[in-house]
């Protein structure tokens, strides 16, 4: 089930980024006391009272027709369109401005639930400043202070009241859910059609012609699959974003519903930063990943071309060292027969469970081969290990001192797990816990 989406909107310099950082618990957005510094929508995950959600920090909404501000208004409109709940932030010290009233008109049109946060109310004496905001007609204004972290609990209490009910999964648990993610015009829709053998999805050479994530259930060789195509959003009269920034949120929603993610690259255009960003979401979500290089037919080749391209992918996507790479042409239907068997294999690996006895035999062999590290005269001692989850495989190592489990040794253990068991295509999570006496 995809997480609900919460968008923080408001005109520039009301403190949206500070509030965003408070809610997600880290400094993700650039914070600077200058209007318009948050240029892009920024996405992160938040959690309140055991409800997870995706949070969008928008670039502010301004009536001026300066290009940057026009662009930021369009981004905010897009965020409003994607959100389940909107947090509208106003500046309590400045009172209601004409720009605030224009934002309210946009919010009323959206017909989405809106929670009104009055920011910069840093102490109880300033609380009376909230009353004028009742006139906006958005319900009760909630006094908050982003810089001091005050009132955010009350704000989030109100936000989660508006979350949609959690839906039941419509598919059987043995169904493998596959999403295709990537920038517009890498050929995701063409790949979907080629895999299905029919024209189910509109294919066009204009980036972003698919409106929504489209679920297509199908069956092949007795295995049930669902293809989730996330080709982005059609521009509505205006170009909403540069093509590199299309469909990130769509991709996030699809990734959350997937077992296996196909990260689709365009062989003609090569690898750009946005490809890494989109692939990073799949890795962080712990999904099985296959890298699919599409439009391979359009490349002039010699006997080293594929090897060189593969090396380039490995250099750029260090965090996806476990992901198999497939070279395809949806247009000419070349090498497509490798996709579903690879999907099935990485899905099995993603759900592979290792028995505790076999796992601990491997750990003993690994420690014998490469003794545990020491720090300030103290040696890491691994008492035992156990697998606590699948999808992705997650292991807990019970040790004397968790802080002695250095990143490099954890990487060594991950590599040993991968060499010993078949974990191609899936991330592995490893946690060190102190063994209780």
Cβ contacts of 156 within 8 Å, gap of 6 or more:
23, 46, 48, 49
Closest CA to 228 of 219, 215, 217: 215
In angstroms, the Cα distances linking 379 to 360, 365, 371, 406 are 19, 17, 9, 11
In angstroms, the Cα distances linking 260 to 196, 346, 421 are 17, 8, 19
Q: Which long-range contacts (CB under 8 A, 24 or more apart) does 281-285 make?
A: 281/181, 281/248, 281/251, 281/252, 281/255, 282/181, 282/255, 283/319, 283/320, 283/427, 285/255, 285/256
The β-bridge partners of 319 are none
CB 107 within 8 A of CB 86: yes
Known binding residues for GTP are 10-17, 57-61, 119-122, 182-189, 229-233, 294-297
Cβ contacts of 6 within 8 Å, gap of 6 or more:
46, 53, 54, 55, 56, 83, 84, 85, 86, 87, 159
Known binding residues are 10-17, 57-61, 119-122, 182-189, 229-233, 294-297
Q: Which long-range contacts (CB under 8 A, 24 or more apart) does 364-371 make?
A: 365/416, 366/412, 366/413, 366/416, 370/409, 370/412
Helix and strand tally (H, E) in the chain?
A: 11, 17
- Report how far residue 268's alpha carbon sits from residue 272's, in angstroms, rounded to the nearest whole number: 12
CB 79 within 8 A of CB 56: yes
Helix (H) or strand (E) holding 284: helix 273-284
């Amino acid at each position: 089930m995809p997480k609900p989406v919460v968008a923080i909107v408001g005109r520039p310099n009301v403190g949206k980024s500070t509030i965003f950082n408070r809610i997600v618990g880290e400094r993700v957005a650039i914070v600077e006391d200058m209007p318009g510094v948050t240029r892009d929508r920024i996405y992160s995950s938040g959690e309140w009272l055991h409800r997870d959600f995706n949070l969008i920090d928008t670039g502010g909404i301004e009536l001026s027709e300066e290009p940057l501000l026009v662009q930021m208004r369009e981004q905010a409109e897009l965020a409003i369109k994607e959100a389940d709940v909107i947090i509208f932030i106003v500046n309590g010290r400045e009172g209601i401005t004409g720009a605030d009233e224009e934002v309210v008109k946009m919010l009323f049109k959206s017909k989405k639930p809106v929670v009104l946060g009055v920011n910069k109310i840093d102490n109880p004496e300033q609380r009376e400043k909230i009353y004028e905001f009742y006139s906006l007609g958005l319900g009760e204004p909630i006094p908050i202070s982003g810089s001091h972290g005050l009132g955010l609990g009350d704000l989030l209490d109100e936000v989660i009241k508006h979350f949609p009910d959690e839906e039941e999964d419509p598919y059987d648990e043995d169904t493998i859910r596959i999403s295709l993610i990537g920038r517009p015009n890498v050929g995701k829709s063409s790949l979907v059609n080629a895999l299905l053998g029919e024209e189910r999805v509109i294919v066009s050479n204009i980036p972003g012609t698919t409106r929504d994530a489209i679920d297509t259930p199908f069956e092949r060789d007795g295995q049930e699959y669902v293809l989730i195509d996330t080709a982005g959003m059609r521009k509505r009269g205006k170009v909403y974003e540069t093509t590199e920034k299309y469909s990130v949120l769509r991709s996030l929603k699809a990734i959350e519903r997937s077992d296996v993610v196909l990260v689709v690259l365009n062989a003609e255009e090569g690898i750009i930063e946005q490809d890494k960003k989109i692939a990073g979401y799949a890795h962080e979500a712990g999904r099985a990943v296959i890298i699919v290089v599409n439009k391979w037919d359009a490349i002039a080749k010699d006997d080293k071309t594929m090897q060189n391209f593969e090396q380039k992918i490995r250099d750029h996507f260090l965090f996806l060292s476990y992901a198999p790479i497939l070279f395809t042409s949806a247009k000419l239907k070349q090498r497509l027969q490798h996709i579903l068997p690879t999907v099935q294999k990485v899905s099995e690996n993603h759900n592979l469970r290792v028995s505790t006895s076999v796992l601990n035999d491997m750990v003993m062999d690994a420690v014998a081969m490469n003794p545990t590290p020491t720090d300030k005269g103290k040696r890491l001692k691994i008492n035992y290990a156990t697998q606590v989850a699948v999808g992705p495989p997650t292991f807990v190592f019970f040790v004397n001192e968790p802080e002695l489990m250095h990143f490099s040794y954890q990487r060594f253990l991950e590599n040993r797990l991968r060499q010993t068991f078949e974990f191609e295509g899936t991330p592995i999570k490893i946690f060190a816990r102190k063994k209780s006496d």
